[in-house]
Chain A
Amino acid sequence: MKLPSLRDVATEARLLLIGIPVFLWTMIPIYHMFLFAISPKEDAFSGKLWPDHPTLHNFEIVFKQQHYFLRDFYIQFWNSTVIAVSVGVLTLFIATAAAFAISRLKVPGGRAVLNLALFTYFIPAAFLAVPMYRTMGNYGLLNNHWSLILAMVTIASPYAIWVLKQASDKLPVELDEAAVMDGATTLQIFRLVYLPLMMPSLVAIGTYAVLLAWNEYLYAFLLLSNDREITLPVALGNFLAADDSPWELLMTTGFIYALPPAAVYYAFRRYMVGGLTAGAVKS
């Protein structure tokens, strides 16, 4: 084995000099949340880097719903899940249909629809929040899960259509032509040729829409207010209403809430990185 040269050591040291701050910067807020989750209240407020008596008691309180703020934990978790999955399914349905129509069937006006979608994608969603809130009131959907589902589908589909359209453009036209030669109907082409080939992009877009809906705070807190209708992020925000908020329980619930999206993200990372970054910015 040969000894590393002085130059190699210097390079490595410089890399570490960047790597260590990056690690700390990334991890401190997350570690802080974890620390609170495993600390009894006294330890959490003492500023220690590791609690004297680490405990899972906070998780027990959350899972047994033993606190005023956590009375409806399970139903709120369920609300978040139902809404996220519904948004994922509906967005996939709407966006795949639209992308197929625009890219494969070359429907007249498809280009204009795509531009409209792209335009909506660029307008920050927060700007649409107030009019959306009033609109849902006019439709009589406030405090109904459908209001949040439909709002999130509206926000998720433009990007979904755009990414799926880009992906479908890459499929060879000859496939469709061959299927037509064999007498396949449009629906058969969609089901048997198009969908299987688009699978990786569909996984990426489905994940994108589910995570977007699961993570949404602004729209959820505007559109839903009843304690048994709200989603978990709104419930987390409501913790702040009290002067002496139980921060250790807030962080525990937040930790539980953050786990599913992180797991989904890492499970589908291969698709996410390829499918989404390619679409997000095309130089």
Chain B
Amino acid sequence: MAITLSGDQAMPGPPLSSRLTPAQVWGIVLLAPYLLVFLAFVVYPVCYGLWLARDPANYVALYNDPIFARAAINTLIFLVVGINIKMMIALFLSGFFAVQRTWIKWLSVIFILPWAVPSIPTILSVRFMLNPEWGMINHAIFSLTGDDGPNWLNDPTVALCMAIAVHIWKSLPFWTLILITGRLAISHDLFEAAEVDGASWWQKFRYITWPSMQTLYVTCTLLSMIWTLGDFNSVYLLTGGGPADLTHVLATLGIRYLRLDQLSLAMASIVCAMPFVLPLVYFMMKRLSR
């Protein structure tokens, strides 16, 4: 090979370009496209956004905007209540789908559908189902009880709950799938031994399943929280932030300010979310990159 032939005449202190092996030069060339994308579409927008949000007056304006406070509370409810309910259901269903039955196998194929189809048409479908006059749900309530059903999306609390339900509908299959993977990784011998010892269903869960899955479960919950912070569709397409801007979350608030032509407020509202996002991200990165 060429390198061994020229090895005996190596010069002391060659320039940087020749100190790199051809493989490393290729490495830099191959890494360049991503770096360019990163610089142009991550670094530049982030810096530009921070520059737009530099004026402290923006933060005073945000602080005085009741919609902002409401959106922050809604986001917190969405994360703390919504995600925990979702992950508990996912944990429960992962046990259900781990049962060996042909029909459960088929059901698991159907169960993935919400994750596989785009969210826009299904969210709009739910939106019409909840229509107080024409929707399927209030028709059903009327024919069963003879009473008019509630005006679902016109009450901020109910509307937010519905947005959370839509979010759960959409992302439950994904997390269930991941927890099934975790559950199937547990050695079957443990359960057989527990069976022999006459352990109850709860004891098996408490002493075998949960200890093996708790790390995965916590990781999933945190990851889901970070991603849900960016869940724009569930709220925007179902309620549009209404009624009276009372169901906004941080992800939709930026767009609201943008529409009102208050760009610096839009950026400032995102900057305000960073103290909550960054520690979560840092924690996740430590966890995932060893």
Contact = CB atoms under 8 A, between A and B. Distances in A.
Q: A and B: partners?
A: yes
Interface of A: 15, 18-19, 22-23, 25-30, 32-33, 36, 45-47, 93-95, 97-98, 100-102, 105-108, 110, 113-120, 122-135, 138-139, 150-151, 153-154, 157, 161, 183, 185-187, 190, 214-215, 217-218, 222, 233, 236-237, 239-240, 247, 250-251, 253-255, 257-258, 261-262, 265-266, 269, 273, 277-278, 280-283
A98 B34 contact: yes
A257 B121 contact: yes
Contact of B96 (A18, A125, A218): A18
**Closest 6 pairs between A and B when the two form their complex, measured CB to CB:** A124-B230, A47-B139, A254-B121, A107-B27, A131-B49, A105-B27
B34 A126 contact: no
B120 A15 contact: no
A29 B267 contact: no
Interface of B: 1, 22-24, 26-28, 30-31, 33-35, 37-38, 40-42, 44-46, 48-49, 52, 93, 96, 99, 101, 103-104, 107, 109-122, 124-126, 128-129, 134-136, 138-140, 143, 169, 173-174, 177-178, 181-182, 215-216, 219-220, 223, 226-227, 229-233, 236-237, 250-252, 254-255, 258, 263, 266-267, 270, 273, 277, 280-281, 284-285, 288-289
Chain A contact surface mostly: helix
A119 B285 CA distance: 7
DSSP majority for the B interface?
helix
Nearest to B41: A154
Nearest to A256: B121
Given A106-B27, A187-B26, A15 B104 contact: yes
Contacts of A153: 37
A113 B48 contact: no
A186 B22 CA distance: 8
A107 B216 contact: no
Given A251-B121, A262-B116, A150 B30 contact: no
A181 to B, nearest CB: 9
30 contacts: A15-B104, A19-B104, A22-B111, A27-B110, A29-B114, A29-B122, A36-B125, A47-B134, A47-B139, A106-B27, A118-B285, A126-B254, A128-B42, A130-B255, A130-B266, A130-B267, A130-B270, A131-B46, A133-B258, A134-B45, A135-B45, A138-B48, A157-B37, A190-B30, A236-B124, A240-B124, A251-B121, A251-B128, A258-B122, A273-B177
Nearest to B142: A47
B251 A32 contact: no
Contact of B128 (A36, A110, A150, A280): A36
A25 B169 contact: yes
A47 B116 contact: no
A281 B178 contact: yes
A19 B103 CA distance: 9
B99 A15 contact: yes
B49 A186 contact: no
A160 to B, nearest CB: 10
A18 B83 CA distance: 21
B134 A45 contact: yes
Counting chain A CB atoms within 10 Å of each CB, the highest count among B139, B143, B230, B285 belongs to B230
A280 B31 contact: no
B212 to A, nearest CB: 9
Most buried by B among A46, A126, A132: A126
B281 A122 contact: yes
A102 to B, nearest CB: 7
Contacts of A26: 110-111, 113-114, 169, 173
Given A127-B273, A250-B124, A262-B116, A134 B178 contact: no
A123 B281 contact: yes
A255 B121 contact: yes
B134 to A, nearest CB: 5
A119 B250 CA distance: 20
A247 B135 CA distance: 11
A116 B219 contact: no
Contacts of B181: 277-278
Contact of A95 (B34, B49, B134, B169): B34
Contacts of A217: 119-120, 232-233, 237
A265 B116 contact: yes
B273 to A, nearest CB: 7
